[in-house]
Amino acid sequence: MEDSRAYRVLVNAAAAAAAAAPNRVQVPFGGGSTGRPVRDSYAGACPSGISFILVLIVAALLTTSPLPLVASSPGLRDHWSLSRRLLSESTSGDAAASQHSVAQPAAQPVAHSEDPPYAYSVHGGDWGGVCSEPKSRFQSPVDIVLKDVVNVPALGDLRQRGHYPQVQANVSVYHNNHTFEISFHEDNRIRLPMFDVDKPYNLSDSWDASSYAPNGGSRSKPRAETFHLTQCHLHCLSETEIDGSHFDVEIHCVHVRHGGGEERESVGVWAVFMNRTTGGADCDPYLEKLLAAVPELLHRGPHDLFPVQLPGFSLSHLLPSDGTYFHYYPGSLTTPPCSEGLLWYVFKNPLPICDRHFETISDLVQALNGRKVQNFRQVQPLHGRVMYRWMDPKPDTEA
């Protein structure tokens, strides 16, 4: 609705300016450059064909650009910038990268509001492009088979690597037509561990997944780099499976490491499960405040930010008391465009969730995606990827 109004304002302004110009020619306006019909049929005057083309270009930018929305939230602004910067594929120059390069993602776009619509009716089985083409060998989510994991004590405790300050006032919540998302105004960041690789993953059909491994054995110290939070969101049921089983909910917190010079951006995601318990769990007070916004969100459009007062909350609140987690690379986005090259960290043990909160999340997901439709993608083949694990030596103590 806002786009149509902006387009008409621009057309009228252009026509008014052209009315005072000499050598006018009459040019009929038939439809918008965005592919949507313009409700008002208008014949405007234009001083030249070039000016008219410029008007159409500016109109297209105004009607399609999400910059006003992006500028209103640091999390969304970072997400938009990332989607624009990860556009070009790696070229043959990647093969000449310096030895022991840090793990990096393949350069492809991250999903945003301009990406084609998709649905969960068959849980991603009908998604095209990178999501399903043959050379896309390293997709997410995956099924973690416990008997095949490799312990790497040197990965370290993720909970001790995060800088997650307490919220001073509010957070922003919104939906993206598929799930509930939350962005923070504070600078949330974490130092994620990763192994060095001789040649970064570059979408090559010949790239060997087994090359991503601790050099010198499982006790060699990995590299750690700082990643900044962009947003967290929910899936119901979980996307990641453990030994073939889902959990009730999976939270993904997406972090970005901004590249410098010719270095590409890196994306790291940590995931936490939530599960209902046999005896029933107490309802979390912070989640209570967040989910109280659900009725309002359902009356708003996608990415329409809604503030929720949440003073005192920190992302550390979402990290399990047992810090055991799994790590693999490369993975991918679990929604179109399914860009590959992401670092994944999945905590093994779920947080408890009360029945009422689970039902609220489930109802929201179905309201956005369709009755009895849950927003998880089916698991993808490992294709030689190794699942590494850091085991918490003191799982009964709080981080």
DSSP strands (E only) in the chain? 25-29, 42-46, 101-102, 143-144, 150-151, 162-163, 170-175, 180-183, 189-194, 196-197, 223-235, 241-242, 249-257, 266-275, 306-309, 325-332, 340-347, 351-352, 388-390
Is there a contact between 213 and 151 (Cβ–Cβ < 8 Å)? no
Please name every residue paired with 225 in a beta bridge, in sequence order, or none if there are none.
Answer: 192
Q: In a structure prediction context, what are the per-residue pLDDT tens digits for the chain, which is 399 residues long?
A: 434 333 343 334 434 434 443 333 332 222 223 333 333 333 333 334 444 444 344 344 434 433 222 333 344 344 434 433 433 333 333 333 333 444 444 333 334 445 568 999 999 999 999 999 988 999 999 999 999 999 999 999 999 999 999 999 999 999 999 999 999 999 999 999 999 887 778 777 788 898 899 876 656 689 999 999 999 999 999 999 999 999 999 999 999 998 765 567 899 999 999 999 888 889 999 999 999 999 999 999 999 999 999 999 999 999 999 999 999 999 999 999 999 999 999 999 999 999 999 999 999 999 999 999 999 999 999 999 999 999 999 865 443
Is there a contact between 60 and 35 (Cβ–Cβ < 8 Å)? no
- String of DSSP letters for 152-182: -GGG--GGGTEE-PPPSSEEEEEE-SSSEEE
Please name every residue paired with 43 in a beta bridge, in sequence order, or none if there are none.
Answer: 28
Fold of 74-390: Carbonic Anhydrase II (3.10.200)
CATH 3.10.200.10 residue window(s) in the chain:
74-390
Please name every residue paired with 275 in a beta bridge, in sequence order, or none if there are none.
Answer: 352
Rounded to two decimals, the pTM is: 0.73
**370 in the Ramachandran plot: left (φ > 0), alpha (ψ -120 to 50) or beta?**
left
CA–CA separation, 189 vs 183, rounded Å?
Answer: 13
